[in-house]
Amino acid sequence: MAKNRFNQNWLHDHINDPYVKMAQRDGYRARAAYKLKEIDEQDKLIHPGQVIVDLGATPGSWSQYARNKLAQGARKAEGGIDGTIIALDLLPMEPIADVHFLLGDFREDEVLAQLEELVGSQAVDLVISDMAPNLSGVASADSARIEHLCDLALEFSQNHLKPEGALLVKCFHGSGYSQIVKKFKEQFKIVASRKPKASRDKSSETFILGRQLKIPGKVLPNH
């Protein structure tokens, strides 16, 4: 009975959520688009001409938002986008125009190798990740899973970001959060946390933004 009440309450909140209504109006697949939009407007992350990697992309609202921003820099007569977007997820995603999608688990070396092949010698300007593991409710196990995903995103960024590039990841306040922030500070010159208005008040999710690598990886600035 309690579970049914919870489901009804969630459905009521979801239907009446202003961001859900905005997403339907603006053609976004999920309300999460407005989290990225708010952070982007504050921090000026996305610009025409960039190479962007979207980790944990499905259903695709972050890639949609990034695509719309890069389309603004394209010549209207030609259409398309000014830049490159590569999206990855272990769940299938409906195609998005001008977005390269890779189906697979980011935690597997084989999939990571495919992603690196897609990126090629291009230096990446921005890595965005709305990834979240399936949470078990066991705090220690969940924090370890979240930290692992952040570690993978950090490692990928170390190897592929331009020196002045940026990484934005979702994590959760609680056990392990301070360790993730510490790792970001070891890798980036500028680190900030963001809690956009579109993030539900009840949620402990927080986004961590790292900018400008302290020690650039194998990518050369002139690539």
Q: Which residues are catalytic?
A: 170
Residue with tokens 């695709």: 60
- Residue 138: CB atoms within 10 A of its CB come to 10
CB 153 within 8 A of CB 210: no
Three-state secondary-structure class, residue 48: coil
62 is in an annotated binding site: yes
CA angle 44, 169, 197 (to 5 degrees): 65
125 is in an annotated binding site: no
CA distance 155 to 169: 13
Cβ-based neighbours of 9, under 8 Å, separated by 6 or more: none
CB 199 within 8 A of CB 205: yes
CA distance 104 to 121: 21
151 is in an annotated binding site: no
Token pair recorded at residue 220: 């050369």
109 is in an annotated binding site: no
In the annotated binding site for S-adenosyl-L-methionine, the residues are 60, 62, 89, 105, 130
In the annotated binding site, the residues are 60, 62, 89, 105, 130
